[in-house]
Structure 1
């Protein structure tokens, strides 16, 4: 039992993070995304010791046996390292349970700090490596920072738990034990149990679609405790009401999308500018918890680096990681045409390979230090060629809307009146991103052309395009896997029959243990917390459904549902659900869904998602000695053993 002294030693932070006070200094246990923002918001000093969780045992979660749980990376240390090193001139000690994890952390940090280590990875873009090194140069070191400058990586299995001053961390079974002079002072479970949620959500605002509409999930940087990192939705095709392009992936992406009424199903493609954590943190969630295989546009160099990073995060072979998404190479000089839209890229000037992207009237700089005087210096030093300088200064010329990095400092753009005049030339609209606030006072000359990309900011270009509510309802129904099985006309009829029900923040939608009200619900906008046995199991967004079983069986509700923020649900009464359930034999699949729920691999899925899986289960009976599949054969099915034994040879 935990003593009062031990309780005083441990501070329980959101999202499964813990702060343990020891004689050798504070130890951060687990490092989910945005931990630096949380610590800054709480006024805490940044700990110099980070203890990461053990890998997930095989077979517990789909897609990950590494640092990632339910799509959340609990080894998100990049900005903690930056804060300690660049602001406080300190190294950070990172402790992993095993030596194998230590080696994987080294891969992640190297790829995101200095980029690909092998010169051959740059292929014909050998000059890009020179540019990255020049941009990364840090005068106090007289070279670009390396892993060993920022961190000391250790493993508990190799004596890494000895913190000095008589302080030791031991890994015993499923717990971390903290000792001082051999006396236990704190004990924490290694398991990650709580569903993770963002510190704050993007505020939903009325979205009136135009020919080009941008909606910013965030427009800040990784150090801002009150802002979400730069990530935005681009509605590029006025003919498509519900399909959207995502630029970069902020942390806790599914909940932030859900609060805006956007389902992952609606994302047509993701454009990934580079691999720094503030642009990448939400990607594992999208890949592992989405209901479709997303198209990902980035350059070949960045893609190969991404495979190494994700393989280390998930502890999966690179080939398995590559199967999670469809990579569409977006390399300089090789435009990509997708559904009538042309995407073009160039390499930006940043510390690791980064692309700037142009699509139609939109230009996105990615992270870039745009400074024409500095470009001229780099030409004089032989880092840039004159042709490369011309490319950097002209690539955005045909755009009408520019989303520009305005982070300032040595590796981002410092906005000056001269740079604004260049960017806003010929009446272009400039949206300043990657900044916590307006970088300068805007006078009348620029005020009508320049916007600041705060969280929730919406920018429109061209004429307004009117859409019907019915189409939005249809998109919500189609985002639900149970109803996505239906032909489009039947989905359209469900959307017509659905009743919109609205709930205020904190309002109870259904109560566990109460009789069913005869309705099933699909989340249309906002977020809904789902509770079972007094514990919040998950947060559901657009397209997620609940209550189907109770509506059809008339039984008591097995889970409670509470609105998080303003919520709109599409209600489907029993008489509307019944024909769909009978057509697909939902009642016959209920028992199979309950069985799936008992397996650790599926325990965290929505019950409606389990029902969808149960509908696809096909029994397979094997006689003694019969071969199920052979080594080297192409895999075409996933098997769950109900009874008996299988020999793996």
Structure 2
């Protein structure tokens, strides 16, 4: 039998075990990697002296880069928590607590960022001063800090006291017991023990992504007046279901409540496009409710972010630690809407009220309501609550000892037991989660129990309901089709010069649904329709050119069909269940001619094709956003020998043809050519930068107002990344 064994878990993730050295390494740790190990049988539950514990990894090898193909590669919080608490490495007196710490292995940059991110994920805000910074009074901050310390057994511990760092540079480094690791290339490592070794490659190939650990059924979700879609009932260890979350629909608009791992996969199964999301209501910063934010900030438009300033501050510190960026960048990725504890706020017609809830990190639960026929319909989302049994033990028995007051206990008990029409509650148990028995007498019309790692027990089923992925509770039914409102907004965007009666002409056509996997247009075949995508996602593929691209809701499929001919240039197929506005090709052609749109569409086509071919815009920027940029970009020419400074420029320049040379304070950075970009530095990074350009040959460029680009989070992130790379060259 081999001393060193490697198992490929999924693209970019491997398992290396050396039992003789008691070393089990998770190589690569994207979100939900522990669930993948459990599904492969590499984590088992065992029992010792009547106490259950898990086996599993005792080391994590990090990717050399945080993001690959738009996916975050390093999300080590739950693997480390699994080692410390489910395996018992951090529990006093546990059979697996031998004094050894979990190993966190990788480059100095990634290890440092992961330790900071884990620290914030474990505790949130770490002292009273930070809590006060979140808008809390000194008296309330003291109370919240006492609760935090109760969960932390009285002490905030630095991550390096819980985790052992192993920095890998160029030379072999010993991990433990004679096992060595060597970096043999970018994202490639060799692990050696005695006379055996294996190599692991943590890179994703072009087009690859980390797969979710579960497969879910495809759904058609009607855009109701006021409804709750159950999009997650599991916890961070459940291998078959997404983590606890919900989706709120109000007047056809989509709002997320929390964003757990693999959020885009969940949305795709539900037939919801990321472009349909109005915003997210956020409860707290634990990864099973937070990891999806890393996906949302890599999209092409800002989401509205709803939470109290306290929770936002906690989330900001964790997200920016993970990304290793300044905290002020949070507002570049999300449109912030602060809420106030205990106060109802109107959000475009429905109301929301956050309430403080005890947890190891700062947490708010949410109450939602909408009025109909003279009374409110209400939904309570109680994510990651505390059990009354555990909370009661925190009551101080003496005036001078730390703990909570009886009034604190009664206040939280009253909060959790409010009567609503629909209540969804965490009953995960243990030291930091809720217990179903606390809701035995709950007066709500319907009680949904969630945040478990398996099916409800018989006792839990006597108390509340279960819910499966994609089930919908309609609080106020819809008596109209809200998708036509979306169609109107999209058509006004594409054809701003067309009069309203002409748009109404298009809107008078039928809606058509396609099931996941169906072909809308087939390459080379006659195309009889143009489709306005209203829900879900469509992909186009060209196998000869090896190109694929995803089109979200709002995209116009066959946009150019009116003048390039009746044959489809690519194949378009539904990657989820979708709804479209179906426009006959002849009708669409008449509309284009009648409104003199031909030249506008031709110019947009040329600009969009160019943007799609650039690194800056071509990865995940959607068709509607590309169209928006294409409408405002202006061509220009730079002549050979011309020199100019980018200092103070509020314009982004993208090179169409030609070549320029970039300098910084008389130090050469390098050459830029077709598809490269420059400028806008004062918008993105302030006025302290002094980049200069020397035009090496006649160069054609496009000018784009830099301020418009700052509203596209994925593009802003790439600009930030490129700026840092250019500065590293110096």
In structure 1, how many angstroms separate the alpha carbons of the residues matched to 2:405 and 2:499?
Answer: 54
The equivalent residue for 1:61 is none
The equivalent residue for 1:94 is 104
The equivalent residue for 2:230 is 216
1:121–1:509 Cα change, 3 Å: same
Does structure 2 retain, via aligned residues, the 8 Å contact 1:33–1:281? yes
Q: Does 1:133 align with 2:149?
A: yes
Q: How far has the Cα of 1:601 moved from its partner? A: 2.4
The equivalent residue for 1:252 is 262
1:28-48 per-position Cα deviation (integer Å, ceiling 9, x unaligned) = 332222211122122123333
In structure 1, how many angstroms separate the alpha carbons of the residues matched to 2:117 and 2:495?
Answer: 37
Does structure 1 retain, via aligned residues, the 8 Å contact 2:509–2:583? yes
The equivalent residue for 2:76 is 77
**Match for 1:13 among 9, 12, 22?**
9
In structure 1, how many angstroms separate the alpha carbons of the residues matched to 2:490 and 2:81?
Answer: 39
**Match for 1:404 among 410, 425, 437?**
425
1:148–1:179 Cα change, 3 Å: closer
**The residue matched to 1:367 in structure 2 has which SS?**
coil
The equivalent residue for 2:388 is 371
The equivalent residue for 2:700 is none
In structure 1, how many angstroms separate the alpha carbons of the residues matched to 2:40 and 2:248?
Answer: 34
In structure 2, how many angstroms separate the alpha carbons of the residues matched to 1:378 and 1:439?
Answer: 30
Does structure 2 retain, via aligned residues, the 8 Å contact 1:81–1:150? no
The equivalent residue for 1:597 is 612
Q: Does 1:391 align with 2:401?
A: no
Does structure 2 retain, via aligned residues, the 8 Å contact 1:261–1:541? no
Q: How far has the Cα of 1:558 moved from its partner? A: 5.7
Q: How far has the Cα of 1:113 moved from its partner? A: 0.6
1:372–1:337 Cα change, 3 Å: farther
The equivalent residue for 2:360 is 351
1:177–1:455 Cα change, 3 Å: same
Aligned 1:102-251 pairs, distance under 5 A: 102-123=111-132, 124=137, 125-137=141-153, 147-148=159-160, 150-157=162-169, 161-164=173-176, 167-180=179-192, 185-186=198-199, 188=201, 190-191=203-204, 193=206, 194-200=208-214, 202-205=216-219, 207=221, 212-235=226-249, 237=250, 240=251, 242-251=252-261
1:546–1:70 Cα change, 3 Å: farther
1:114–1:11 Cα change, 3 Å: same
1:442–1:563 Cα change, 3 Å: same
Q: How far has the Cα of 1:452 moved from its partner? A: 1.8
**The residue matched to 2:297 in structure 1 has which SS?**
helix
In structure 1, how many angstroms separate the alpha carbons of the residues matched to 2:105 and 2:627?
Answer: 40
Normalised by the length of structure 1, the TM-score is: 0.82
Does structure 2 retain, via aligned residues, the 8 Å contact 1:584–1:615? no
In structure 1, how many angstroms separate the alpha carbons of the residues matched to 2:8 and 2:582?
Answer: 38
Q: How far has the Cα of 1:267 moved from its partner? A: 2.8
1:196–1:151 Cα change, 3 Å: same
1:465-521 per-position Cα deviation (integer Å, ceiling 9, x unaligned) = 3222xx315425746997386779465544433662534x54444455x35635444
Does structure 2 retain, via aligned residues, the 8 Å contact 1:258–1:542? no
Q: Does 1:297 align with 2:306?
A: yes
**The residue matched to 1:602 in structure 2 has which SS?**
coil
Q: How far has the Cα of 1:415 moved from its partner? A: 1.3
1:210–1:538 Cα change, 3 Å: closer
**Match for 1:465 among 459, 464, 478?**
478
**The residue matched to 1:311 in structure 2 has which SS?**
helix
**The residue matched to 2:201 in structure 1 has which SS?**
strand
In structure 2, how many angstroms separate the alpha carbons of the residues matched to 1:50 and 1:159?
Answer: 19
**The residue matched to 2:508 in structure 1 has which SS?**
helix
Q: Does 1:613 align with 2:613?
A: no
In structure 1, how many angstroms separate the alpha carbons of the residues matched to 2:269 and 2:189?
Answer: 39
Which has the higher relative contact order, 1 or 2, with Cα contacts under 8 A spaced 6 or more apart? 1
Q: How far has the Cα of 1:612 moved from its partner? A: 4.5
**The residue matched to 1:33 in structure 2 has which SS?**
coil
Aligned 1:567-582 pairs, distance under 5 A: 567-578=578-589, 579=591, 582=597
Does structure 2 retain, via aligned residues, the 8 Å contact 1:102–1:153? yes
1:599–1:183 Cα change, 3 Å: farther
1:15–1:476 Cα change, 3 Å: farther
Judge which range, 583-592 or 204-213, deviates more.
204-213
**The residue matched to 2:395 in structure 1 has which SS?**
helix
**The residue matched to 1:601 in structure 2 has which SS?**
coil
In structure 1, how many angstroms separate the alpha carbons of the residues matched to 2:205 and 2:25?
Answer: 17
Q: How far has the Cα of 1:102 moved from its partner? A: 1.9
1:119-178 per-position Cα deviation (integer Å, ceiling 9, x unaligned) = 3101132321221221243xxxx8677534653233323868533455443334434131
In structure 1, how many angstroms separate the alpha carbons of the residues matched to 2:460 and 2:287?
Answer: 34
In structure 1, how many angstroms separate the alpha carbons of the residues matched to 2:499 and 2:211?
Answer: 34
Q: How far has the Cα of 1:294 moved from its partner? A: 1.8
Normalised by the length of structure 2, the TM-score is: 0.73
Aligned 1:362-511 pairs, distance under 5 A: 362-371=379-388, 374-375=391-392, 377-380=394-397, 382-396=402-416, 397=418, 399-416=420-437, 419-422=438-441, 424-425=442-443, 427-437=444-454, 439-441=456-458, 450-461=464-475, 464-468=477-481, 471-475=482-486, 478=489, 483=494, 489=500, 493-497=505-509, 500=512, 502-503=514-515, 505-511=516-522
Does structure 1 retain, via aligned residues, the 8 Å contact 2:268–2:576? no
1:229-282 per-position Cα deviation (integer Å, ceiling 9, x unaligned) = 1111123x4xx2x21332101223233223323233433331110000010111
Does structure 2 retain, via aligned residues, the 8 Å contact 1:31–1:76? yes
Aligned 1:23-62 pairs, distance under 5 A: 25-45=23-43, 46-55=56-65
In structure 2, how many angstroms separate the alpha carbons of the residues matched to 1:541 and 1:525?
Answer: 8
In structure 2, how many angstroms separate the alpha carbons of the residues matched to 1:121 and 1:466?
Answer: 48
Aligned 1:245-284 pairs, distance under 5 A: 245-284=255-294
Q: CA RMSD in A?
A: 3.7
1:538–1:319 Cα change, 3 Å: same
**Match for 1:336 among 313, 332, 345?**
345
1:391–1:31 Cα change, 3 Å: same
1:555-608 per-position Cα deviation (integer Å, ceiling 9, x unaligned) = 975644444465555444544555559367232233333333332223323673
1:411-465 per-position Cα deviation (integer Å, ceiling 9, x unaligned) = 111211xx2234x22x442221212445443699x67xx322332222233x533
In structure 2, how many angstroms separate the alpha carbons of the residues matched to 1:102 and 1:481?
Answer: 48
Does structure 2 retain, via aligned residues, the 8 Å contact 1:407–1:433? yes
Q: Report the structure number with the largest CA radius of gyration.
A: 2
Does structure 2 retain, via aligned residues, the 8 Å contact 1:250–1:279? yes
